[in-house]
Structure 1
């Protein structure tokens, strides 16, 4: 098969469709694209699957990222594989095989609804995977084999479609650790202690329960500390930059680093000395990397019972925003048995397997060069 047309300058044989519903989905996909690097046989285009409350300006963000964008209604049969970091949306309308990926660091949250959460594992529920009695994804990617029992309970007919593919984001974070000083230099941290405050979205998040935390930290910590704030892309989409900078005005004047909405949080996490967070995916990444960690909030009602994130919540120390902050940060330690937590959360050695899977679905021989996780991008605050 040859996908190259009259006006193409590349020998395109296959075309991949990246399906996004939110900025988070785009962030996840950009960790997968390096697996297709240097192969001019494969072209990637993107489309927006409608239906998310957090899809505002998503098409514009894709254009700003330099992506080729196809309207959903124009997708047709011009693609050989669709990759979606979510089981949500009208994926059943696509006329090509779909590979779904975990939306975050594994499958640790219950499925969000208009009124709260359902008693279903987000990404593994029948509601998301089945349409009119048909399992929609051709392949359901799991970051660890211990997610198979959850899938079997939630949607047993989907189990034959499951593949353990690891977590490309975690693999890239691990590959970046030897370059930590370069990330700190780019951030302008110098010899200062870097405190990264990270929040997921929703009322039970760190930002939702303690929105003044960045203000408190930048006011109370001595000059040999610097604070960076990472907000979930859904928070950015909901409120946008002007509103967030208005709410954070005093903290920003006190030298807060407000990390951009996508692709820069990874660099901040690698550079961090201490992480203050909640029950979001970044918390699990930070814990598994062995970062000293404190919880400023924790949405127990949103977390899957028995999941690695629930275990993190049981083990991690809590931050008390009403008490002196510096002694608490100084005393922060990695989550106990964090290596065990990593082993039960991610199969990091499977980057090669994910590339094999993609090329197998594309019916193309893999490139001769090995698949290796790339270090994450450096970040220099403006």
Structure 2
């Protein structure tokens, strides 16, 4: 082993993002990866346990601060990253930078992940590299934190690349989840403007009114962390009795999205992934006050059909269509060849030659519900 990489996680969402980066180091026994939890998030409960469940090698934060690591990757600019003694790469927390920075009282007028509040500590830019998923985000960064702009690098989105690589096998994913039935995926971000907060009984209505479909519910990891499975299953009791698939909290939503015939969602990252993939899409909620104006997410919100809770659901689901000009939205959100870009960046900072095999996205893992 010649180099050691540290994966920094503050939430389950961060862990989910990092697990799309780890395959870039596959088969290279020169590089070892360990993980550490950066304290400070209200959604960090049981995070170390979740890391262990993935089979990760976990170190405590004090160990991470030492000189045992050559490079760190964090899908967030939050937390005590300034304490680390190695170069740090920050990645977008979701599908680009489309949300305003959350605060205890609501949101700030700052782009989450690109704000000076997150990237600068005591007048020092903390990340060695600020990873962007699209060139358009450079203008956002220059506006939000101009001193960090020289450290920006466009890397694309490995998660989106893996979803696209999975599409040719969509029927296999759908068969594993729904058999020969059509699959409706309901996906909720977290917070007071989310689908789950605004329309929590939608899964119950869908399973009752569409018994010939299979309904799958994807909840943001922060919802899982806040309420845990017993409470969620209690709230969803009737829907689960009616054959609802409650998609596990980590690494299974990707297969559900690939398999989906229709996606009903809100302003979470999964909406952008679904729209960019050309999935028929309906919005059951949309937090306009949380979305960055003129961002790809704002464009999605302006173009997508809304699900009317006062009308019959079946005809609305059956009439769902892909977002108009969805390829344009994809082109505005994701840069191409993220695996090549990101692997090259990591190995440059590790000061190692890249492996001779190509860096390309692998399809996401199949998911068969219990």
TM-score, L = length of structure 1 = 0.96
Following TM superposition, the consecutive aligned residue runs of length 4 or more in structure 1 with deviations greater than 4 angstroms are none
Shift of 1:193: 1.1
The answer to whether the aligner puts 1:273 opposite 2:261 as a matched pair is yes
Q: 2:40 aligns with which of 51, 55, 69?
A: 51
Match of 1:150 in 2: 140
Q: Distance in 1 between matches of 2:13 and 2:353?
A: 30
Q: Distance in 2 between matches of 1:194 and 1:357?
A: 38
The answer to whether the aligner puts 1:37 opposite 2:26 as a matched pair is yes
The answer to whether the aligner puts 1:192 opposite 2:196 as a matched pair is no
Match of 1:310 in 2: 298
Match of 1:263 in 2: 251
The answer to whether the aligner puts 1:84 opposite 2:74 as a matched pair is yes
SS at match of 1:197: strand
Shift of 1:218: 0.3
Q: Distance in 1 between matches of 2:336 and 2:36?
A: 28
Q: Distance in 1 between matches of 2:51 and 2:309?
A: 37
Uncovered stretches (5+) of structure 2, i.e. residues with no partner: none
TM-score, L = length of structure 2 = 0.99
Count residues with an aligned counterpart: 369
Aligned-residue CA RMSD in angstroms?
Answer: 0.6
Name which of structure 1's ranges 190-199 and 237-246 shifts more when overlaid on structure 2. 190-199
Task: Please list the CA deviations of residues 260-318 of structure 1 after superposition, one character each: whole Å capped at 9, or x if unmatched.
Answer: 00100000000000000000000000000000000000000000001000000000000
SS at match of 2:176: helix
The answer to whether the aligner puts 1:364 opposite 2:364 as a matched pair is no
Shift of 1:56: 0.4
SS at match of 1:229: strand
SS at match of 1:60: helix
Q: In 2, are the aligned partners of 1:170 and 1:348 still within 8 Å (CA)?
A: no
SS at match of 1:78: coil
Q: Distance in 1 between matches of 2:331 and 2:226?
A: 34
Q: Distance in 1 between matches of 2:129 and 2:210?
A: 48
Q: Distance in 2 between matches of 1:323 and 1:222?
A: 18
Shift of 1:351: 1.6
Uncovered stretches (5+) of structure 1, i.e. residues with no partner: 1-11
